[in-house]
Amino acid sequence: MSTQKTRKAELRHTLGRMRSRLTEDDITVAGAALARHALRLPELASARTVCAYVSVGREPGTGPLLDALRARGVRVLLPVLRDDDDLDWGPYTGPERLVAAGRPGRLMLREPADEPLGRRAVLAADALLLPGLAVDGRGLRLGRGGGSYDRVLERLAEAGAHPALIVLLYDGEVVDAVPAEPHDRPVRAAVTPSGVHRFPADGPR
């Protein structure tokens, strides 16, 4: 394992332990605050299609934001994990239409019940909301390590598509430095319960 991969694994362990101390109330309160701040973002205010995700475990709750975007008339697409760990996408039509992921043991993932639209559906997104564990001042995101979103970001780059990349985090997860690898791409902004953090990658795409 490379030095950077080792450093990423160590940071994931540390941040995961911090999240493990959060209560259900912490997660609920954070999700409501994230929704309030995210909905004020101009990137989401003008978006017609947003690719997002259903939070799992101790991730900041995304349910309020998903429902608020849908209420605005935004087309919300959610990931569907494929057997090769790549991501397909399906329409979000409400929490009652979410089902457990088809493969057992997949982090308790919940996915749209409707037929997936294909991996390239992400190319239509005006904004892509990303899960993560941390982000640094350069906008570099530390993900969970599965590589699924790395494939999505590579697909966007190859197609010349440039949705606004936004990561949803807790306060305290905007850190001094995230170990970087050549394939890592900066996000435009991070939303935490206390507000919005923008990075040098911000600007016209």
The per-residue pLDDT of the chain, averaged, comes to 91
Domains of the chain: residue spans and CATH: 3-198 (3.40.50.10420)
Q: What is the largest CA-CA distance in the chain?
A: 45
pLDDT of res. 201: 58
Amino acid in the structure at residue 92 = Y
- Can you tell me the distance from the alpha carbon of 122 to that of 110, in angstroms, rounded to the nearest whole number? 18
pLDDT computed for residue 204 by the predictor:
37
Which one, of 179, 99, 102, lies nearest residue 145 by Cα? 179
Closest CA to 89 of 16, 163, 25, 24: 163
3-class DSSP assignment, residue 180:
coil
- In tens, the pLDDT along 96-153 reads 999 887 655 455 788 999 899 999 999 999 999 999 999 999 999 998 888 899 999 9
- Axis-axis angle for helices 24-38, 63-71 (nearest 10): 30
Confidence of residue 70 (pLDDT cuts 50, 70, 90): very high
Q: How far apart (Å, rounded) are the C-alpha atoms in residues 202 and 188?
A: 5
Backbone angles phi, psi at 147, to 5 degrees: 85, -5
Q: What is the pLDDT of residues 150-163, one digit of tens each?
A: 999 999 999 999 99
Distances in whole angstroms, Cα of residue 165 to Cα of each of 41, 67, 74, 105, 168: 12, 20, 17, 28, 10
CA distance 131 to 109: 13
Nearest to 117 by CA among 97, 79, 89: 89
1: confidence class by pLDDT, cuts 50, 70, 90: low
* pLDDT recorded at residue 195: 96
Percent of the chain with pLDDT over 90: 77
Amino acid residing at 152:
V
Is residue 59 within 8 Å of residue 103, measured between CB atoms? no
pTM of the model: 0.91
